[in-house]
A and B are shown apart, each in its own frame.
Chain A
């Protein structure tokens, strides 16, 4: 029977030819408002791997209400400011000293308007102190406010065993002390805590050398260098690599540390649309052909700054296309794998492994140890001459102190675990468990009908809430149900796209995830959060069926 959809029916299963066509490099299939980029990689053996990312738009009424909410909040803000100015209402904020009243005011009134009037109302959802290790379950200190969030006081009680969906504990390495941490204890006893010196002076310990060799081995590159702080790794090394006369092409949604590093370097910065290879290609072509803006001289170097996984969106960088572009236009690529190292890829080696690419194709691999490894600090890895150059010229190596020894030991321990050097397969199991948990969590949320952003393999799951009132209600209700979530609003996200961000961890068991999902289901119904117009069913192979009757 000829099928009007253009596919062939074979053994009762519908094969749709359209899905398997592989002529075009990138195609946007628009169906009912979802834009799915169906793209394929350059390498032939991955041509059946589709990158499925969705960034669904909210229905119109939601956006209207969101802006209305902000508008009402602003009006009330003006009213309260007016009352405070005229002394009718007590002002609880800290004020300038009497002696300095005639100085130029330290803050513009408007800068703080948002903080004073909108953020202050729902401030209790952030900066919640905890008092245990941030594992899959943790303890939150209870605090109340008597004056509408201007000040808090601790009741002294502790909410125990809250399910932690907020910490980047991807591989579940955050835990209280156990016997496997004995090596850290020994290092602490031998070396002490601080280093009190820079790398160039007296601060290079043998622990650092050991760690750097191990990191290089883990990433399969020639050499690596470690730094004491992840944020500072970006902001102090990008200025060492590029300077005036160079061009930086940076993604729209790059992290503040990358933006700060790019600004401090003095190079020209151009921004391309998030994960959009056409936009990047256009910028590259213009840069190479037309050179610097007024003098038309050629650029000295072009550096592309991207992240492995973007934490606010949950999207993964389209690495194969970017590498193809980089080769064609002879640019250099800098990847910030803060959220993807240890979490993405079959053995946790990051986005290069996820796409099956050679890590040598990326010029600068940067990452942090805060997320998957349970410590703090950052690294930069790549070819030996790159790392040697950074050893000599990095701002951090000359002026900032090096990593603390017990922290270095913790990273060594985690790396050995993940690489399997300690003799067990625990590391690999954790990585696989994380991938399973991620897929399960995302799938269930999409089935329930929430709007989720991002790639189906990213363990950071942003769930869109939109309205500021719902943001606060969501966070508070979830804490009552003993689930700790992170909500993010303006200015970290665009004004109308407030979201809750879940971080799935390998240490979460199926029961914990189910508890969370049930609670989310309830919350979704209570707060009307299920905005998605594309409720996915649990049987995707039936999507393209056009008729469910028996055909003969």
Chain B
């Protein structure tokens, strides 16, 4: 019975086929043929048109010419013809850049002792069996001297602040930094990938404006604000301008807007304050109000390296996350011993700070009134700048004029130097200047002589 119904259905179908109009059948036939064609033809992909053949790829590889690894450097660039110094950088041979206290003989004695005990280098990263008792000593002494809980030592001055900032400030945090901050701070900020807000040099009103703006932003998004950390990074004595930061106002702003302060005291450590403790002692501020103080030991302590000090809560974090600390070899013991000895000297003779202050004042006054050059920097600062009063218009011209002055002073045995910057890398390039540095060991006659020589030379060159 089933087959009969099937057959009947089949017959009906064939009959329907006969009865359908012709155009219908033809249309259906064409559609079926079209479908079959589409099924069997290759798919048309848009990318294929732009895909390169192997031959084209090889041609591209052959044709490509990279830039040379380094562009050529003019042969007479000053950096290639250094002043080569022979002999120790003490106050007699050169009047060099950053040395403030040089009691070289005494320091040599103790570093000699540690050379005998430890040899020179240390062969491994600090976490791995190379923390020597000398380092622990130095850290303790520094912490005690600065009256903080803890200190941590780095083996290179530049790396100190450049590793400290990224250890705390990460992507998404906000850092307010002065325009005249030094290059090491700039590199630290770049490595931290945080938002950077620059405020005008030493201008607290500008800083307050930025902080207020940030507060308004915070109110729009309180959840985000609760996890964004805020930092203010300033220097005690600015290397680029020789001015002091207004710390009391900064501390007030800190508590008002809940930002933490990082203070970079490379130039002011061992210079400002009654006992040389830096700008906090100078203003009489409680050191615990500053979250982190970083300084390098290359200026006042006549050694190499740097340190950070502050409360244990803050400093201990750097032992595992400060890149320049964990991934780098530790300070050679003889340099650490030299630093300890220098600290001893600083503690035993607190009178030298007053003497230094006087000498700074003296040379500052003596160099005022040179026509054509103006003195930039406070009278307390042992490192200040002499800039051209009126720029000639092009930076190169200025640099050449100043170099003329420096060279002529050299001929009369006064060693000076121009402040050097990497022009393309600095965020806010300071104008060209001559850097003058005073040390404790220079006598008054020498300072007088130096001042008068500079005056003469400047008048000769600039007029």
Contacts and interface: CB of A to CB of B under 8 A. Distances in A.
A80 interface: no
Given A193-B335, A197-B97, A400-B157, A94 B120 contact: no
B346 to A, nearest CB: 14
Contacts of B96: 196-197, 201-203
A8 interface: no
Contacts of B107: 192-193
Interface stretch (B73-81, B271-279, B349-357, B441-449): B73-81
B335 to A, nearest CB: 6
Interface string B227-240: 11110000000000
Contacts of A397: 79
Instruction: Kindly state the interface size class of chain B when it binds its partner.
Output: 35 or more
Interface string B314-350: 1011011001101111011011001000000000000
Contacts of B393: none
Interface stretch (B6-14, B87-95, B361-369, B453-461): B87-95
Given A130-B132, A241-B70, A289 B60 contact: yes
Contact of A194 (B187, B298, B328): B298
Interface string B299-323: 1011110000001111011011001
B141 to A, nearest CB: 15
Contacts of A328: 61
A264 B117 CA distance: 39
Contacts of A390: 70
Contact of A192 (B67, B73, B302): B302
A184 B67 CA distance: 43
A236 B324 CA distance: 12
B84 A330 contact: no
- Secondary structure at the B interface, as helix, strand, loop or mixed, is loop
Nearest to B298: A401
A133 B117 CA distance: 7
Contact of B159 (A133, A135, A229): A229
Interface stretch (B204-212, B371-379, B416-424): B416-424
A46 B227 CA distance: 59
B120 A374 contact: yes
B98 A197 contact: yes
Contact of A385 (B57, B70, B159, B302): B70
B387 interface: no
B70 A386 contact: yes
Given A94-B311, A130-B129, A184-B115, A167 B258 contact: no
A330 B67 CA distance: 10
A375 interface: yes
A135 B130 CA distance: 11
A400 B64 contact: no
Highest count of chain B CB atoms <10 Å: which of A167, A176, A229, A364: A229
Contacts, number: 346
Given A168-B123, A206-B85, A369-B121, A330 B129 contact: no
B216 interface: no
Contact of B124 (A104, A168, A193, A302): A168
B72 A385 contact: yes
Contact of A370 (B128, B182, B329): B329
Given A104-B230, A228-B304, A232-B156, A196 B130 contact: no
Contacts of A235: 159, 162, 187
B184 interface: yes
Highest count of chain A CB atoms <10 Å: which of B102, B328, B418: B328
Nearest to B289: A99
Contacts of B407: none
A371 interface: yes
B119 interface: yes
B112 interface: yes
Contacts of B159: 229, 231-232, 235
B104 interface: yes
Given A129-B136, A177-B117, A193 B64 contact: no
Given A231-B156, A395-B183, A134 B129 contact: yes
A360 B79 CA distance: 25
Contacts of B77: 392
A198 B258 contact: no
Interface residues of A, number: 121
Contacts of A201: 96-97, 417-418, 420, 435
B131 A376 contact: no
Contacts of A229: 155-156, 158-159, 324, 328
B133 to A, nearest CB: 5
Contacts of A391: 79-80
Contact of A200 (B79, B121, B130, B191): B79
Interface string B157-181: 1110010000010000000000000
Contact of B69 (A99, A173, A189, A332): A332
A193 B338 contact: yes
Contact of A257 (B78, B116, B327): B327
A369 B90 CA distance: 27
B69 A486 contact: no
Contacts of B99: 194, 196-197
A76 to B, nearest CB: 20
A144 B200 CA distance: 51
B228 A104 contact: yes
B71 interface: yes
A97 to B, nearest CB: 7
B123 A192 contact: no
A535 interface: no
Contacts of A199: 79, 82
B111 interface: yes
Given A196-B302, A299-B66, A386-B69, A375 B121 contact: yes
B260 interface: yes
A295 B386 CA distance: 46
Interface in A138-188: 138, 140-141, 164, 166-169, 173-177, 181, 184-185, 188
B260 A103 contact: yes
Given A200-B79, A241-B70, A194 B302 contact: yes
Interface of A: 94-97, 99-100, 102-108, 115, 119, 126-135, 138, 140-141, 164, 166-169, 173-177, 181, 184-185, 188-206, 209, 228-232, 235-236, 239, 241, 255-257, 260, 263-264, 285, 288-289, 298-302, 328-332, 363-364, 368-371, 373-376, 385-386, 388-393, 395-401, 403-404, 406-407, 410, 484, 486
**A-B interface, 9 closest residue pairs, ranked by CB to CB distance from nearest:** A229-B156, A400-B158, A389-B70, A94-B313, A202-B96, A231-B328, A177-B116, A193-B338, A204-B82
8 contacts: A130-B130, A166-B124, A176-B116, A194-B335, A206-B84, A232-B159, A256-B326, A407-B121
